[in-house]
Structure 1
């Protein structure tokens, strides 16, 4: 055994009681006293792919887990990864993580949590595996579409809103993947190294907020190693930070098949082992081997009791043991579908709109060319663990045909072939996908020639955006760039709609077309949402939660040669300078900056003031501004507040996001906006003292509509 007896003695029976009452703890201890060792251990590992055993004599039912950060996954077979073929497991499918963050609307995150909680309960699920909140460090990470942003503050705000709402429906959230799971290549073995500053300032804030502010009930440990130890057996992550610092008293579970030991994982704070490979569930590390370790004296039974207490605590908080008082749930209601629709609408980012091509004046348009495989492709069922079986999924071609097919000529052309093929654990299916199919392009050009407007639905699909492998490049695949060039030559009103969940290089098309719209993966209402925005029924209000570079070589992990690592080791040499922090501080020009997004109207922001000039470290800074919709149509703007420190003892980013608010304004309407920043949130992590530090001095608070589009600043002094 690698860990010393001393460490074991120090960590046993350290369960925190900060979020529970005395009656709950008495109930937990009463149940534990009635259990045999075998019964206790049966609660600490799966008895199938997504279930944990019941203890019938004590009234403890089987515990049901499900994938589902943007929808409750269809029913799987208990002992293999095939779907059960049920006809009653179709659900509401939301846009994935990056799209949720692109709304910059926390109310929508809350509504999403309510819907998913209701549908999970209707499906009799107890734990919903999400949200995924890992930092988008590399643009090539296959799982970026599931995650939220490159910015820890934006991630934290969405995670807390989502988790609180979901758990209010008596379903436990499982925030994942803890921690530093920022690439899928070699995810089972890659060893991540970074500074303490990077860890605490960039990669942990979302988890900290989920636990301390969102009171998340379960945390999922990642596959990778961190500083030489697997995350499932990492004392620093599992004990020192999660249990001792964050006071987490819920369940720390493994990702599926991520456990590599019995004793090391048990000592590091892991409570629940879930898996994929072994079908003899008694052979798992937290099954018979755990019983044997206790019986032979290598682990104390009190450590097992601690883990059982954590499981029971989550069960009690979600009323698993009190089913008569528990939420019953609902599924596929019109209200659920409306939230999915609004989530898709508000995620759409207008990147370019030269000569006000958009919104389309549909009464004046007689014909439109709809081009591209993504105009007809459905995406909800892709991405492996993100696969959702939606009640329905509307494609863009279906939507425009339904809405406008009777009043205009719709000319469809496929435009490009999906040349890739999916393959779990390997991105080889993405190779050789740059073939230009001139026959399809010629067909598209002919349709564009005879149409008033051409709309090309380009981007990616889940052969590229998926769990278990990364992308091989950041280009538009399938010869799409050539397709866009050729169509734009014959139709000056060519609109490109990008369907993707990860950054792409768009510099090759940016100057070729008058309008570019980023529509992400829009969930079940994707087609309706994008067509309604293009036609002006809805207005675009999304903002980028990521930086879109001119080329991949601008990204810090690629610029420094630290992706995907060497010899199964990767050093985060860029440190705290991830995403816009890198571009902004280094003075590197991106194609589209973090926080960017255009509107169909115009906004004026003025009268920026702070409530006073000097603050102490326990105070809250309030920044006010007036915002007016000075255009002729309704719209929404996201007011973003960034902070910078004038003089610091350590190198800090030029600007960091500290507050934001999405403001809806009718034409001509004006509102006053208040943004609040805790002075303590201006701190950096001091590696010398292993603590957060706010230095005295001047701080500048910048108000803008993106990290680059700053409209005004105010200075304050911190004493």
Structure 2
């Protein structure tokens, strides 16, 4: 019961009627079945499932309701495939754009994560399955992930890297947690009493199941005494797992008390009861259902971020386009079956090319050119692809380029070496823009990429994530105006790698040890405080309409824990219906310690028709003005002046008031 007996399963106890626990990767759907001996896929047609938008896409909706809907549909698929635990969501901080698994994680901002992740968890667990939030903690790189020893100051630990996991426990009531591969301050995370016992169980009151990442247990005694309940790995020598014969021998010799094993089994059985594994009324789930397809489409629609629309080229008017050029390998590439633990055997995947063709129907000619290749080709072959694309672009009524990264770069097990677009795309984009300055550029990636070689020449840029089975449908709807884009960046897009805090302060990827010298200055906390101009800032995202902010009111309160109440009015001042995410940041104007220029503390997404207004209300507590005091080993709010900043992004602040607390 306490160790793996297949890649994703434990072994039950037949004589007691205890079933095995069946788990499923990951955040983008139910991963296919792997043979327990060879670890190879043996896909069956009836086992294919939906591919879900990646975690960064979900966070970019800035929509709690959709995060819950995403989780509910994912949990439904997990249960429908006969699984008990969804190994998701992944919530590690986007410390650097280069982390290979950023697409499986949500954001650079702990508050945004603390709002999105609990909703995903609650949605998953509504289906009588357990969510398993991962990877606890500081698993922010793939390079040397199984051994690297991570350290940071206490403020960074408590202010940046812990809040998402705390929210998963406190707000999401998550039933299981996965320990990370890496070491933290000398101990492997799955063998750390400080992490699993002192923080997770004692401080936060977590009473659920702790599962190791696959191969993250290195010592039987250390892991068991720290509070890791299940030992999982990718190794078909199941009887020799640390929690198999080695544990049995230690108990029989008296080295480890049997009571320790009892506690682990008790927690496993408790989880089984919580998800109704012994209850005939347990929900049966469903996969590939109409409701699940609608859910992932809704998420994909709101995840797309309009980065730039300088001349209002978007939305394209389909009635004026008789011949449309679509260029780029990513326009016609299936992404679902790659990436590592998030890969799925999808029933279907609507690519950007397919989505646009389906949307336009028979009144528009679609012409496609690959433009570049992810394969190893000669310079002559590369030039031929480029010339074909340029000729096509020059002879159509409109042109859409779909490029970016793929899962050779956004992937488990490997970090990127730089932020540049691969496969000579920068050169191709520049050449295309020289003949089609009105070209719509769609960047597909799970992480920021460099754009500075061509961004000044581009009028229109769209950020499109790995958006799942219905992604191409959503993209077409946004490009042609059936859906007004409302996504906002959940992480900053810097101009170049050299602008990032990790590059400036180090270390990444480091060696056997990595210290987070940037401390609390991660993402926009760094760019805004150190006055580094990003390409596109945190929270940025344009719309086909405009929004006017006014009537900011800030009222000091002394009742309970409430410090202030904030209200403002937002009006759709444009000509089409749209959604705006109102973001509230707090700035500590005078503090005894160094603090970021501003920190996100509240947000609300509002849907408005043309001319319609809505009053947005926020309540801020003492916690929202506090920092973690290293000296006091606790959270502390210092009296003084604070600025309340409200706007459309971290750098588009529309309203401001200073208060004294």
Q: Structure 2 length as normaliser, TM-score?
A: 0.98
Structure-2 change in CA distance of 1:433 and 1:685 (3 Å): farther
Structure 2 counterpart of 1:307: 264
Q: 1:341 aligns with which of 276, 282, 297?
A: 297
Structure 1 counterpart of 2:98: 140
Structure 2 counterpart of 1:23: none
Aligned residues: 661
1:653 to 2:609 alignment: no
Structure 1 unaligned blocks of 5 or more: 1-42, 421-431
Structure 1 counterpart of 2:288: 332
Q: 2:124 aligns with which of 163, 166, 169?
A: 166
Structure 2 counterpart of 1:6: none
Which of 370-379 and 671-680 deviates more? 671-680
Structure 1 counterpart of 2:396: 451
Deviation at 1:492, TM superposition (A): 2.5
**Superposed counterparts of 1:503-582, under 5 Å:** 503-566=448-511, 568-582=512-526
Deviation at 1:533, TM superposition (A): 0.4
Structure 2 counterpart of 1:155: 113
**The residue matched to 1:386 in structure 2 has which SS?**
coil
Deviation at 1:295, TM superposition (A): 2.2
Deviation at 1:112, TM superposition (A): 1.0
Structure 2 counterpart of 1:360: 316
Confirm or deny: 8 A CA contact 1:448 1:491 kept in the other structure: yes
- Mapped to 1, the partners of 2:368 and 2:205 lie a distance apart of 57
- Structure 1 runs of 4+ aligned residues shifted over 4 Å read 432-436
Confirm or deny: 8 A CA contact 1:273 1:286 kept in the other structure: yes
- Mapped to 1, the partners of 2:418 and 2:383 lie a distance apart of 22
**Superposed counterparts of 1:169-180, under 5 Å:** 169-180=127-138
**The residue matched to 1:701 in structure 2 has which SS?**
strand
Confirm or deny: 8 A CA contact 1:77 1:83 kept in the other structure: yes
Structure 2 counterpart of 1:464: 409
- Mapped to 2, the partners of 1:473 and 1:660 lie a distance apart of 32
1:711 to 2:639 alignment: no
RMSD: 1.5
Q: 1:641 aligns with which of 570, 577, 584?
A: 584
**Superposed counterparts of 1:204-215, under 5 Å:** 204-215=162-173
- Mapped to 1, the partners of 2:52 and 2:7 lie a distance apart of 24
Q: 1:605 aligns with which of 549, 559, 571?
A: 549
**Superposed counterparts of 1:155-304, under 5 Å:** 155-277=113-235, 279-304=236-261
- Mapped to 2, the partners of 1:295 and 1:696 lie a distance apart of 59
Task: After superposition, give the CA deviation of every residue in 1:186-206 in whole Å (9 maximum; x if it has no partner).
Answer: 101111010111111101111
Deviation at 1:616, TM superposition (A): 6.5
Deviation at 1:388, TM superposition (A): 1.2
**The residue matched to 1:557 in structure 2 has which SS?**
helix
Which of 556-565 and 126-135 deviates more? 556-565
**Superposed counterparts of 1:79-98, under 5 Å:** 79-98=37-56
- Mapped to 2, the partners of 1:620 and 1:378 lie a distance apart of 50
- Mapped to 2, the partners of 1:351 and 1:397 lie a distance apart of 20
Confirm or deny: 8 A CA contact 2:350 2:472 kept in the other structure: yes
Confirm or deny: 8 A CA contact 1:148 1:545 kept in the other structure: yes
1:688 to 2:631 alignment: yes
- Mapped to 2, the partners of 1:216 and 1:716 lie a distance apart of 37
Confirm or deny: 8 A CA contact 1:434 1:478 kept in the other structure: no
**The residue matched to 1:155 in structure 2 has which SS?**
helix
Task: After superposition, give the CA deviation of every residue in 1:634-693 in whole Å (9 maximum; x if it has no partner).
Answer: 111100011111211111111011110111111111111112322223221111121111
Structure 2 counterpart of 1:114: 72
Structure 2 counterpart of 1:415: 371
Deviation at 1:489, TM superposition (A): 1.0
Structure 2 counterpart of 1:474: 419
**Superposed counterparts of 1:372-451, under 5 Å:** 372-419=328-375, 437-451=382-396
Deviation at 1:574, TM superposition (A): 0.2
1:123 to 2:81 alignment: yes
- Mapped to 2, the partners of 1:570 and 1:161 lie a distance apart of 32
Structure-2 change in CA distance of 1:716 and 1:615 (3 Å): farther
